[in-house]
Amino acid sequence: MSKKEFKAESKRLLEMMINSIYSQKEVFLRELLSNSSDAIDKIYYKALTDDSLRFNKESYYIKVTPDKTNRILTITDTGIGMTQEELESSLGTIARSGSLAFKNENETKDGHTIIGQFGVGFYAAFMVADVVTVISKALGSGEAYKWESTGADGYTIEPCEKETVGTQIILKIKENTEDETYDEYLEEYRLKEIIKKYSDFIRYPIKMDITEKRPKEGSDNELEDYTEEQVINSMVPIWKKNKNELTSEDYEQFYSEKRYGFDKPLTHLHINVDGTIRYNAILFIPENSPFDYYSKEFEKGLELYSNGVLIMNKCADLLPDYFSFVKGMVDSEDLSLNISREILQQDRQLQLIAKNIGKKIKNELKSLLKNEREKFEKFYKSFGRQLKYGVYSDFGSNKDVLKDLLLFYSSTEKKLVTLDEYVSRMPEDQKYIYYASGESYDRIEKLPQAELVADKGYEILYFTEDIDEFAIKMLMTYEEKEFKSVSSSNLGIEAEEEQINESEERENKELFDYMKKALAGKVGDVRASKRLKTHPVCLSADGEVTIEMEKILSAMPD
């Protein structure tokens, strides 16, 4: 039997691909700039082994030039260029990546900053352009060639004039339609914005001629247009810089530039990991919770970069829920991207990074608690509730991570204390960690149930948030000490355990029976108690669910 090749309607395939890979049109620019950066990188790598080549960083750049009148956007680079054959093979074959081939051929030389790999990014140009023209002159070649295509109908290649080595991509931007406008891709401010968003950390300068109004010379109030070539991208990402050369102000500036929050960060982590997993990250713990933090609208996540190119705005998989308040970015060279560079396939690398990040955040919080208590309490005021949710919703090992970070107000210390501090102060004879729930410290202070425990001189933790008691129930014990609500019926205090005088019960039997009848359905039993000092009566609960928990549960919508 002879084997046959698949036939593909390449015209339709191209159309389908162009319109289904990317969810946003603006990424066409990211793809073209990444290609230009790759092309310059290739000269850089060649120069490493070829003595006849000099790599003088100043002579390599990318330039973006919009021409509104003619609806043309040009991207020019001084990269390695393409020969006639390369134009044919790289741009004429969908899913052929010259860059991937280059990386494979040059494996020994650390070529990992090259971005291209799928051989489809270039065609993103057709999302915004009717006609794409590529004029290129390859390094070491005397001739230049012009490749041109309207997308669906194939392409032409012919010789042309070009003085310098490099490539020019010329896009004839589409006319607006009823549903779509394309004008923005010819606007200076918009192009600047897209470059900043996706390509800020491309290693070579991305230049644009920027026109601004300036006061006319010799005049105070007259303005004139002034055009100047500017470099738009920052090039060296702050996370690749040496920590010792950076100040807190640098990090704060990055925080506000990136709009991670309107506040100042409480603290930052700058992580460089270079082992089996390789990544750089800058993470921030904000001071204040965003207004929507405890709502469904809030989306957690970190920015994810691959080789300095933005892949995802909010990668949720990088943060556990209980650390969802953390802001920042992660850059890694080793991610397996999918073709649109938008979503990552279930990636082991990503999971490893997430795990590593989780540990680092925990350690940072622990050290804050230990060394900068005031800062930690500020943090706790904003995000403590989230940690408690973390403990409560745990099915795995979060509890161990989080229990040491919990703070509660203490009846004896009159301030927030950790569970560890509480336990270390417990007298020999104290069996339980006592807590009392209520709306406010004031109200808890007046609880009759707390009297006996307080009288014994035992410390009581005040629970004022709905989640507190639920979280503690999940924790069950701390350092093998059980938690005990002051309103539970058995407090484990000797005085209370002494048998209530039989005769006292008998004497009051009639009264107790009467009270039980009057409160039928509301209380289970009426008993004499040794717990009370100055109050005549109090409620106590048997079993797992305390009175406060019952209140919360019955207030929840069904």
> Under the rule (CB under 6 A), what is the footprint of ligand ADP?
31, 35-36, 39, 77, 79-82, 90-91, 97-100, 116-122, 167
Q: Is 220 annotated as a binding residue?
A: no
Residue 98 binding result from ligand ADP, Mg ion, none, given CB thresholds of 5 to 8 Å by partner type? ligand ADP
Q: Count the neighbouring beta carbons within 10 Å of the beta carbon of residue 521.
A: 5
Residue 122 marked as a ligand binder: yes
DSSP letter for 209, please: E
Binding at 82: pick from ligand ADP, Mg ion, none (beta carbon under 5-8 Å per type): ligand ADP
d(CA 549, CA 491): 18
For residue 118, say whether it is annotated as part of any ligand binding site.
yes
CB-wise, 21 or 369, nearer to ligand ADP?
21
Q: Which is nearer to ligand ADP, 98 or 111 (CB)?
A: 98
Query: Was 167 annotated as part of a binding site?
Result: yes
Give the nearest distance from C-beta 109 to ligand ADP in angstroms.
17
Q: Which is nearer to ligand ADP, 97 or 546 (CB)?
A: 97
Strand partners, 331: 280, 305
Q: Spell out the alpha helix ranges (H) of 119-187.
A: none
120 assigned binding-site residue: yes
d(CA 388, CA 473): 11
Is 35 annotated as a binding-site member? yes
Does the annotation list 71 as a binding residue? no
Contact in structure between 71 and 172 (CB atoms under 8 Å)? yes
The distance in angstroms from the start CA to the end CA of the chain is 67
Q: Which does 410 bind (CB under 5 to 8 A by kind): Mg ion, ligand ADP, none?
A: none
Return the one option of Mg ion, ligand ADP, none that residue 458 interacts with (CB less than 5 to 8 A, by type).
none
DSSP 8-state symbol, 94: T
Query: Residue 442 and residue 426: Cα distance in Å, rounded?
Result: 24
List the beta bridge partners of residue 267. Answer: 285
From 522, 552, 556, select the one nearest 539 (Cα to Cα).
522
Q: How far is the CB of 289 from Mg ion (least distance, A)?
A: 40
Partner whose footprint covers residue 39, from ligand ADP, Mg ion, none (CB < 5 to 8 Å by kind): ligand ADP
Across 490-517, b (16+ Cβ under 10 Å) vs e yields ebebeebeeeeeeeeeeeeeeeeeeeee
- Residue 82 among known ligand-binding residues: yes
Nearest to 31 by CA among 102, 164, 132: 132
Cβ at position 370, least distance to ligand ADP in Å: 48
Residues in the chain: 558
Strands ordered across the beta sheet of 144-149: 155-160, 144-149, 129-137, 166-173, 72-77, 62-67, 206-215, 223-231
* Residues making contact with Mg ion (CB under 5 A): 35, 116, 121
Alpha carbon of 40 to those of 45, 180, 202, 289: distances in Å?
9, 34, 11, 43
Structure tokens at 317: 């998989």
Report the C-alpha gap between 433 and 373 in whole angstroms.
Answer: 23
Which tokens go with 479? 């350092």
Q: What residues contact 461, with CB distance under 8 A and at least 6 apart?
A: 408, 409, 410, 411, 417, 422, 433, 434, 435, 436
**Residue nearer to Mg ion on the CB measure, 35 or 430:** 35
Q: What does 117 interact with, of Mg ion, ligand ADP, none (CB < 5 to 8 A by kind)?
A: ligand ADP
Pick between residue 121 and residue 320 the one whose CB is nearest to ligand ADP: 121
Binding partner of residue 449 among Mg ion, ligand ADP, none, CB under 5 to 8 Å per kind? Answer: none
CA neighbor of 229 nearest in space, from 369, 64, 114:
64
Q: Which does 97 bind (CB under 5 to 8 A by kind): Mg ion, ligand ADP, none?
A: ligand ADP
**Considering the complex, what minimum distance in angstroms separates the CB of residue 94 from Mg ion?**
12
Nearest approach, Cβ of residue 49 and ligand ADP (Å): 19
- Least distance from C-beta 127 to ligand ADP, angstroms? 13
Report phi then psi at 274, rounded to 5: -140, 75
**Exposed/middle/buried for residue 433 (C-beta within 10 Å: 0-12, 13-18, 19+):** buried
Identify residue 187 by its one-letter amino acid code.
E
The binder of 251, among Mg ion, ligand ADP, none, by C-beta within 5 to 8 A per type, is none
Tell me whether residue 119 is annotated as binding.
Answer: yes
Is 81 annotated to bind ligand? Answer: no
Pick the closer one to ligand ADP by CB: 61 or 478: 61
Contact partner, 118, from Mg ion, ligand ADP, none, Cβ < 5-8 Å per class: ligand ADP
Q: Which of 169, 185, 195 is nearest to 308 (CA)?
A: 195
Q: Whole-number minimum distance, CB 116 to ligand ADP, in Å? A: 2
Q: How far is the CB of 319 from Mg ion (least distance, A)?
A: 29
Contact 57, 221 (CB under 8 A): no
Shortest separation between residue 118's beta carbon and Mg ion, angstroms: 7
Q: How far is the CB of 27 from Mg ion (least distance, A)?
A: 11
Is 98 annotated in some ligand binding site?
A: yes
User: 3-state class of 316 per DSSP?
Assistant: helix
Rounded distance between C-alpha atoms, residue 344 and residue 318, angstroms: 12
Cβ proximity to ligand ADP: between 26 and 466 the closer is 26
From the list Mg ion, ligand ADP, none, pick the one residue 331 interacts with, judged by a Cβ distance below 5 to 8 Å according to partner type: none
Nearest-approach distance from CB 203 to ligand ADP, in angstroms? 15
SS3 content of the chain, % helix, strand, coil (to 5): 40, 20, 40
Name the residue with the smallest CB distance to ligand ADP.
98
Q: Residue ranges for the binding site?
A: 31, 35, 77, 82, 97-98, 117-122, 167, 341
Q: Residue ranges for the binding site for ATP?
A: 31, 35, 77, 82, 97-98, 117-122, 167, 341
